[in-house]
Amino acid sequence: MRVSNGGVDTTTVRWFLVVADLGHVTNAAAELRISQPGLSRAIARLEADLGRPLFDRVGRRVALSAYGAVFAEHARRLVAAEDAARRALAQAADPEHGEVSLAFLHTQGPSVVPGLIRRFRERHPGVRFRLSQDRAERVGAAVAAGDADLGITSPAPGDPALAWRPLLTERLQLAVPEGHRLAGRTRVRLAAAAAEPFVAFRAGAGLRTIFDALTESAGFVPDIAFEGEETGTVRGLVAAGLGVAVVAPPGGDQDVPHGVRHVALTDAGAARTIGLIWTDARRRPPAAEAFRAFVLAADTK
């Protein structure tokens, strides 16, 4: 045990704390099941490395010196941090008690993702999830950088380092205000709304990529009144009469603002495929690998 870059051997630190708690080297050695001379030498080396006496000798007993009291406070935190790190590593190696870091689209929060997590945790109740929501480009970047184990996104990422498996395909809809001239229709082509202002998703969002391709295919440049990141905001502004929007169908318990009507889009490209992404460039924790296998086998239709 030597001081190196400000560090000490944690085994000796643990021995020091036992001596501090018992106030007796011989009793501490017995509890630790090591020899008393060996323990005394270890404490002496620790004091030499730190350059301060840690104990005052009082007869056959010992008591923390002023320096020892300061060191003990930090030593307990050091030991606690190491114990926490060991527990975290043990959990990371255990598919039944590990953590899954999952990034997903804002639009998948109310529907697909909660259902997948609920069904997985019915089988693996000890697994925890660390979740983040973002637009498509950032979901892909998080998985590529290792900030997330897995991602649920659309469309398929262009990064060749990311593996992709489709899970489900959704037909897109045109959200219009109640009372709009198209509100009574059940089906419509996007070109029918070419003269309308649009509430669109920000660049980088998966739905924005699809929207741009749809308007180009329909032969018009949209008048974009506002760009938002969350579906709730986009629908709310449609309800307020700011414009119309291309959106995914509402799912799960997702709230739809009063005053919005949804009309099915018949354009060939008016669909998005939701998929799972991951990278094989790094090894995933067992819990994350178990969730990946579960999602790939799950019926998300």
Torsions phi, psi for 122 (to 5 deg): -65, -30
In this prediction, residues 174-185 reach a mean pLDDT of 95
In this prediction, residues 139-153 reach a mean pLDDT of 92
Residues 51, 87: one domain? yes
Residue range 228-286, pLDDT digits in tens: 888 888 999 999 999 999 998 886 545 577 899 999 999 999 999 999 999 988 888 88
Residues 116, 60: one domain? no
Domain membership of residue 54 (yes or no) is yes
Residues 282, 223: one domain? no
Q: Is the pLDDT of residue 58 over 70?
A: yes
Q: What CATH number does residue 197 fall under? A: 3.40.190.10
Residues 64, 40: one domain? yes
> DSSP labels for 155-172?
S--S-TTSEEEEEEEEE-
What percentage of the chain exceeds 90 in pLDDT? 65
List CB contacts of 51: < 8 A, sequence separation 6 or more: none
Residue range 36-50, pLDDT digits in tens: 999 999 999 999 999
d(CA 35, CA 43): 13
Q: Is the pLDDT of residue 135 over 70?
A: yes
Residues 17, 83: one domain? yes
Residues 87, 152: one domain? no
Q: What CATH number does residue 45 fall under? A: 1.10.10.10
d(CA 45, CA 2): 8
pLDDT band at 4 (very low <50, low <70, confident <90, very high): very low
In this prediction, residues 79-94 reach a mean pLDDT of 76
Residues 203, 148: one domain? no
Count Cβ neighbours within 10 Å for each residue of 208-233 and write b for 16 or more, e otherwise: bbbbeebbeebeeebeeebebbbbbb
Q: Is the pLDDT of residue 1 over 50?
A: no
Per DSSP, 254 falls in state -
Residues 154, 177: one domain? no
Domain membership of residue 163 (yes or no) is yes
Domain membership of residue 5 (yes or no) is no
pTM for this entry = 0.64
Domain membership of residue 2 (yes or no) is no
Domain that holds residue 232: 173-269
pLDDT band at 94 (very low <50, low <70, confident <90, very high): confident
Which residues partner with 80 through β-bridges?
none
- How far, CA to CA in Å, does 216 sit from each of 173, 186, 248? 17, 23, 19
Position 110 scores a pLDDT of 61
In this structure, the strands spanning 173-177 and 187-188 are unpaired
Domain membership of residue 72 (yes or no) is yes
Domain membership of residue 81 (yes or no) is yes
Domain membership of residue 3 (yes or no) is no
Q: Which of 68, 92, 116 is the last residue of a domain?
A: 92
Residues 263, 182: one domain? yes
Q: Which of 72, 92, 112 is the last residue of a domain?
A: 92
Q: Is the pLDDT of residue 23 over 50?
A: yes
Residue range 268-283, pLDDT digits in tens: 999 999 999 999 888 8
Residues 156, 206: one domain? no
The more confident residue out of 35 and 155 is 35
Q: Mean pLDDT across the chain, nearest whole number?
A: 89
Q: Which helix (H) or strand (E) holds 144?
A: helix 136-145
Answer whether 193's CB lies under 8 Å from 244's CB. yes
Position 254 scores a pLDDT of 54
Residues 278, 156: one domain? yes
Q: Which of 75, 92, 109 is the last residue of a domain?
A: 92
List CB contacts of 76: < 8 A, sequence separation 6 or more: 17
Q: For tokens 């320096």, name the residue.
A: 67
The total of structural domains in the chain comes to 3
Residues 67, 198: one domain? no
Domain membership of residue 4 (yes or no) is no
